Structure 1
Amino acid sequence: MASLKFLGRVLVAWFAAWCMLLVLFGIFDWHHGELPWFVTLAWFVGLLIALGRGVTHLYRVRTIAGRIDAETLSNRQRRRVEVPYGADEAFDIVEAVIRELPNVQDITGGRGGLQLRALVRLLPGDLPRRRGMPQQGLDRNTKVSATITPSDGSSSVMFVCEPDSSAWMDWFNPDGGASLEHVETLVRAMTQRLTERRNRERADVRQTAMEKELTAAQLGLLQAQVEPHFLYNTLASAQELVRTDPARADRMLGHLIDYLRRSLPRTDGSLSTLGQELERSTAWLEIMKLRMGERLTVHTEVADEIAALPMPSMMLQTLVENAIKHGLEPKPGGGGVWIRGRVEGGLLSLTVADDGMGFRSEGSGTGIGLRNLRERLRLTYGATASFVIGNNFPNGVAATITLPAKGVSDHA
C-alpha cells in the first residue's frame, strides 16, 4: 500500500504540472491554448523517468531498510544517536564518521557551534537505473548535517540527510534512497565507533583492575614479611643489650614492636596517611640508630598540619630503607637522613635525602622496590603523581614523591 501511495504521489505531481501547463497556455493563448507536441512529449518522457526512478527508489529503500513505509520512503531522513560522552568527544567522533562517507566534500562547521555540514556528491554510476533511463541531470547531491546537543556528561547527535534541492522537487524526482542510505551509514558508523570505544574502555578498566590487584598482592606480601635479616639482627642486638644495657634493649624492643604492629597489611585496601607512614619509618629508624649508634642521625621536617594527608603505605619506608642500606651503612662513619614533607600548589611533596655513598655504591636503590613504587603511583594517581630520584648535594641521594593533596592548604 505504501508503494502504491508513493507512486500515486508522483503521478499526481506530474498531472498537476500538466494541468498548470494547460492553464498557462490557455491564459497567454500560446499556440491557441493548445500544448505543442514537443511539450507533450517532454512531459510524457519526464513522467516515465520519474516513475522509473520511483520504482528504483522503492527497490533501494526495501534493500536498505528491509521495509517500506512513510518513514523510509521520505527523501529527507533524520536520526538521533545518544552518545555517552561530552560534547567535545562527541564532536570528534561525528567529524570522523562524516569524513568517512564516500564522495564527501565541503565539510564545514565548528566545535564552538557543535554543528557540522557536508555535501555528498553523486558520481555517475552511484545509483542503479533502468535500461534507457537517463541518470545525470536528474540525480541530486545529498546534504548532510549533524547537530550535537550536550547534556549532563553525555550528548545527543541529530543527523539530517536530504537532497540539495527544494522540497517541492521531491514530488517529481525521488532521490533513489540516497538520503536513507547515507543516514543509515552514519548511524551504523557511530554505533560501531561507540562500541569499539566502550570495549577499549572496558579492556582498560579490566587491565587496570588486574594491575591494581597484582600490585596490592605484592604490597600485601611485602607488608606481611619482615626482612628476616633485619629481624634477626635486631633481636640479636637486643639480646646482647639485655646483659650490658637493659634500658637500651628495652627501647629497641619497644621500637621493634611498634614497627611490627604498624607493618601489618591493610585488609581494606584503603590508603594510609602521612602521619602513620612517618611513625612506621621513625620506629624503624630508631632501631637502626640503636644499632648504628652515633653513625646515624635523623632529621624530620614534617608539619603536624599535613600528617592526616592520605598516601599509599610502605612508600616512605621504601625510600628510608634505600637511604640506609645503599647510602649510609656502606659509608665509613655513617651520616644523616632527612625526611621533609610540604604542601604547595595542591601537591604533597615528600623527600627522603641522605649524605651517603650516592649512586656510586653497588645497588643504588633503582631495583624492584622503586619500580614497584612507580607502578603503584601510576595505578593510584595516574599522571597527577610523580617520583624523582637524583644526586644530593654535595653527597648522597635525594628521592621525592609528589602526590595530590586535595582539600589542604599550602604549607611552606
Structure 2
Amino acid sequence: MTSLFFIFRLTLVSMVTYILAVAILTENFLRHVVRHTEEFFVIVGAALACAVITNAFSHVRRVRLIAGEVSSRTLSSRQRRQIEIPFEAGEAFDMIDAAIRELPGSEIAESARDSLQVQARVRRAAPYTQSGLPRHRLLSFIAPQPNQILATVTPNGEAGSVTLICEPARPAWTDWFLVDHGSNLENAEAVTRAITRRVAQRRRSEQADARQSETEKELTVAKLSLLHAQVEPHFLYNTLASAQLLTRSDPARADEMLGNLILYLRHSLPRTGQAMSTLGTELERACAYLDILKIRMGARLNLQIEVPAYLRQVELPPMMLQTLVENAIKHGLEPKSGGGTIWIMARSGDGTMIVTVADDGKGFSDDGAGTGIGLRNVRERLRLTYGKAAAFAIVANFPDGVTATITVPDHTLQGAAHG
C-alpha cells in the first residue's frame, strides 16, 4: 500500500500541475487555437502520466532492492541517520570524515574540525538512463544531479553523536515531482556501514593489544614463579656448608643460620593465586637472606634498615626488593675486599611509596657490573603492574656504591601515615 500511495501521489501532483499549466497557457496565449489543440494536450498529459508512473515504479523497485523493504522512510529522497560512536568527539569526527571521503563518487569534501562538521557533494549515477545515452544538450535534463551530505558530530561525554543528512542538491519542493532512485538511501547506508566497520576494527585492535599485554603479563608472572621456585645453587650449597662447619664450632650460630635459611626458603616458594606481596613480607625475605650472608661474611657486611611500620602493609610485587638486595651484594659488596653497608629505606610521598636500596660497594665499575637481567625484569614488572604510575631509577651513590629506588603508587598511604 505504501508503494502504491507513493506512485499515486507523484502522479496526482504531476497531473494537477500539468493541468493548471495547460489551463493558464490556453487561457492567456492559445485561446484562439484551443479547439484544435485539445487532443494534443490530452496525448501529452497521458504520456507524462506514463512517464511519471514508470519513474516512480523504478524508484520503488530500487529502494526495495537496497533496503529490502518499502516504507515512507526508505522511499524518501532525503535520509537522516543518528549514529552513536563510542569514542570521543575528535575520533568520531575523524571516522565520519574518512568514511565520507572514501564514499564512491565523493567529489567535494569540506571538513571543519573545530566545528565538527563535514560537507560533501557526491556524484550520482542514474541506474536506468546512464547507459547508451548520447551526450547532447537537449538531453542534459536527464543527467542525474549530484547529492550532498552533511555530517555534524555532537560531543556526548566520552562518545560522539553523529547526525548524518543525505539529500539531493536541489530544493525540497522538487521532491513532489522528482525521485533519486534510492541513491541517498544508498549513501546513508554506506556511511553507516563504514562507521560500523571502523568501530569494529578499532575494537579488534584494542582487544588484540589487550591480549598481547595480558600475554606479556602472564609471561612475566611465569618468569616470576620460576624465580620464586629457583634458589641459587651456590648460595644454597655455601649456606649449608657453612652451617655444617658451624655445628662443630658454634652450634648456636649454625642454628641461627639454618633458621634464616628456612625463613628465606619459605618466602621464596611460589604462592598460587597471590600476585602481589607486601613490603613487610619482602623485607622479611631480604633480612633472612642478609642475615645468612652476615654470618658468612662477618664484619664485612653491615645492614641498616629504615622502614616505618605503617609502610609494611603496602603492596609490592614479590621478589622485587630481593632482586635489588642481591644485586647490591653480588655486584657491590662481595667484589670489594673490605665489604661495606647495605641500606634499605622506605618513605611515603604524594600518594606513593618510595623504596630505596643503597650500598657503598664497587659501584658501576667493570668488575662490579652484572648482566642487567634482574634490573630489566624489575622495570618490566613495574610497567605491567602499574603502567606509567610507577618508576625505577638507579644512580651512583656518593662517595661509593649504587642507589636503586622504586616508586609505586598507593593512595592509602596518607591515611595510614596519619592513622
TM range (shorter): 0.7 to 0.9
- Summarize the Cα distance change of 1:362–1:177 in structure 2 as closer, same or farther, 3 Å threshold: farther
The percentage of counterpart residues that share the same residue type is 47
For the aligned residue pairs, the C-alpha RMSD in angstroms reads 3.4
Bigger Cα displacement from structure 2, 321-330 vs 218-227 = 218-227
| AA aligned opposite 2:15 | F
1:17 alignment partner in structure 2: 17
Q: Deviations over 1:252-302 (max 9, x none)?
A: 222212211222212113311112111211111111111111111222222
1:144 alignment partner in structure 2: 150
3-state SS of paired residue (2:413): coil
Alignment of 1:41-52 (within 5 A): none
1:6 alignment partner in structure 2: 6
Paired residues in the alignment total 402
| Aligned-pair CA distance for 1:397 | 1.9
Aligned-partner Cα distance in 1 for 2:51–2:109: 28
Aligned-partner Cα distance in 1 for 2:352–2:11: 75
Bigger Cα displacement from structure 2, 159-168 vs 328-337 = 159-168
1:205 alignment partner in structure 2: 210
1:399 aligned residue (391, 396, 404) = 404
2:111 alignment partner in structure 1: 107
2:237 alignment partner in structure 1: 232
1:191 alignment partner in structure 2: 196
What 5-or-longer segments of structure 2 have no aligned partner? none
| Aligned-pair CA distance for 1:250 | 2.4
Q: Deviations over 1:325-359 (max 9, x none)?
A: 01110111011222222232323222222221122
- Summarize the Cα distance change of 1:368–1:233 in structure 2 as closer, same or farther, 3 Å threshold: same
Question: Does residue 319 of the first structure (1) align with residue 324 of the second (2)?
Answer: yes
| AA aligned opposite 1:178 | S
Aligned-partner Cα distance in 1 for 2:147–2:159: 32
| AA aligned opposite 2:412 | G
3-state SS of paired residue (1:134): helix
Instruction: Report if the CA contact (8 A) 1:50-1:174 is conserved.
Output: no
TM-score, scaled relative to structure 1:
0.84
Question: Does residue 170 of the first structure (1) align with residue 168 of the second (2)?
Answer: no
| AA aligned opposite 1:17 | T
Q: Deviations over 1:1-34 (max 9, x none)?
A: 54443333222222333355467679xx743889
3-state SS of paired residue (2:347): strand
Instruction: Report if the CA contact (8 A) 2:126-2:143 is conserved.
Output: no
Aligned-partner Cα distance in 2 for 1:408–1:136: 77
2:388 alignment partner in structure 1: 383
Aligned-partner Cα distance in 2 for 1:83–1:269: 39
| AA aligned opposite 2:186 | E
Instruction: Report if the CA contact (8 A) 1:224-1:264 is conserved.
Output: yes
Aligned-partner Cα distance in 2 for 1:343–1:395: 26
- Summarize the Cα distance change of 1:301–1:92 in structure 2 as closer, same or farther, 3 Å threshold: farther
2:29 aligned residue (21, 28, 31) = 31
| AA aligned opposite 1:61 | V
- Summarize the Cα distance change of 1:127–1:307 in structure 2 as closer, same or farther, 3 Å threshold: farther
1:70 alignment partner in structure 2: 72
3-state SS of paired residue (1:321): helix
2:259 alignment partner in structure 1: 254
| Aligned-pair CA distance for 1:154 | 5.5
| Aligned-pair CA distance for 1:320 | 0.6
| Aligned-pair CA distance for 1:55 | 5.5
| Aligned-pair CA distance for 1:314 | 0.4
| AA aligned opposite 1:11 | T
What 5-or-longer segments of structure 1 have no aligned partner? none
Instruction: Report if the CA contact (8 A) 2:15-2:45 is conserved.
Output: no
Aligned-partner Cα distance in 2 for 1:255–1:81: 66
